Amino acid sequence: MLVSEPAEPPIPDGLLLRIYRVAVLTRAVDHQLWLLSRQGRAGFVLTARGHEVAQIASAAAMRRGHDSAWCYYRDMGVGIALGVTPYEILLGGLARGADPHSGARQLTMHLSSPSLRIGSISSAIAAHIPHAVGAAYAARVRGEDSVAMCWFGDGAASEGATHEAMNLAGVHRLPVVFLCENNRLAISVPLALQMPVERVSDRASAYAMPGESVDGTDAEAVFTATRAAVERARGGGGPSLLELRVPRITPHSSQDDDAYRSAEQRAAAAAADPLPRLRETLIERGMLAVDEDERMVREAREQVVADEDLALAMPEPLPERARRWLYAGDPPHGGVTLPARYANWTGVFDG
């Protein structure tokens, strides 16, 4: 097991700023959904706050539209990084019939996009991890050089499906990268009561794959470690397990009061917020001016509020359509008219 803490890993010019820009937008969507939930207009909400920089930086190491993404319910940053628009996320969060990911059948942030190669998100913890391994196996059978990227939380690391999937990936040396977003809480259960080892990455050796623990609040470290794992998988070197150590700044969900954490623990999580850290890095390197940052944050909020207004104006799903697409037929992917500002939206990637 490796513990990676590089000071200044190499990263393509402009990418760090794009990661920050997408993180600011993700935070704005996250905040608005939380408000909508508190107002009773959006249902169950699970936020990405504290995770988003790690999500976006790791997604940036993929080949967009070529590699497949297998996410869990907190991975808003991955979705937006790959090209899902805030408008689509708000359509789902507000349960509008135009939601292109499930037609409002799924919970908030349960994405599914064939065009972006994002597999349907499952509410069942760890259910998507064997799917990611299946996608990696299919890529090998088809002779493709695509990599399956699979994100999950530390709670999922204790599920049997996770071990079965990693074991199969290790046996067949499949092109899959496992990324555990470890915030040290499986809802309310602390890491010490979930597993007897200090780091999730310690388990990698059981499956004969490299394991690396990375500071998930360091965008450069996350990108560098993920890029190496992706290149290894694409080159035939087999799977990897990356542990991204991140804070969970909010309660588990909009229906959780977070009473199991002390005020000191909640304050420590807030102090580890990766967004200010990345902002300061960019300003120190002359890649971002303070006034430019303020404008970016303001415009992101305005953009999300405008998307919210458009989504709220859309009709709710028709009851007679509730049973469509359950077993057969064309799924409700696509067909949504996006605001003009998203005509060339490519997420964190330089379109």
Residue 255 has φ and ψ, to the nearest 5°, of -110, 20
Strands in the chain per DSSP E: 2-4, 68-70, 148-153, 176-182, 185-186, 189-190, 211-215, 240-245
Pairing of strands 148-153, 176-182: parallel
Per-residue model confidence as pLDDT tens digits over 47-88? 999 999 999 999 999 999 999 999 999 999 999 999 999 999
The reported pLDDT for the residue numbered 328 is 67
- Number of domains present in the structure of the chain: 1
The reported pLDDT for the residue numbered 150 is 99
In a domain, 48, yes or no: yes
The stretches in the chain having pLDDT less than 70 are: 1-9, 327-335, 351
The reported pLDDT for the residue numbered 103 is 84
Q: 């996009």: which residue's tokens?
A: 113
Q: Is 263 exposed, middle or buried (0-12, 13-18, 19+ CB in 10 A)?
A: exposed
In a domain, 333, yes or no: no
In a domain, 15, yes or no: yes
Instruction: For residue 121, give both structure tokens.
Output: 């998100």
Domain extent at residue 302: 2-314
The number of helices, as runs of H, and strands, as runs of E, in the chain is 10, 8
Give the distance from CA 198 to its chain's centroid: 23
The verdict on pTM exceeding 0.85 is: yes
CB distance 217 to 280 below 8 Å = no
Q: Rounded CA gap, 102 and 105, in Å?
A: 5
CB distance 78 to 55 below 8 Å = yes
The reported pLDDT for the residue numbered 153 is 96
In a domain, 288, yes or no: yes
Question: CATH number of the domain that 90 lies in?
Answer: 3.40.50.970
Instruction: For residue 345, give both structure tokens.
Output: 């939206």
In a domain, 251, yes or no: yes
In a domain, 194, yes or no: yes
Q: Rounded CA gap, 92 and 319, in Å?
A: 16
Q: How many CA within 13 A on the CB side of residue 291?
A: 0
The reported pLDDT for the residue numbered 318 is 84
Q: 């394991």: which residue's tokens?
A: 211
40: left (phi over 0), alpha (psi -120 to 50) or beta: left
Give the residue ranges of DSSP H helices in 201-273: 219-234, 263-271
Active site residues: 248, 252, 260
Q: Which residues pair with 2 in a beta bridge?
A: 212
CB distance 122 to 83 below 8 Å = no
The reported pLDDT for the residue numbered 320 is 78
Q: Which residues contact 309 (CB under 8 A, 6 or more apart)?
A: none
Q: Rounded CA gap, 146 and 192, in Å?
A: 36
Q: Rounded CA gap, 301 and 305, in Å?
A: 6
In a domain, 326, yes or no: no
The reported pLDDT for the residue numbered 8 is 47
In a domain, 190, yes or no: yes
CB distance 69 to 116 below 8 Å = yes
CB distance 243 to 180 below 8 Å = yes
Per-residue model confidence as pLDDT tens digits over 302-331? 999 999 999 999 999 888 777 777 766 666
Rg over alpha carbons for the chain, rounded to the nearest Å, is 19
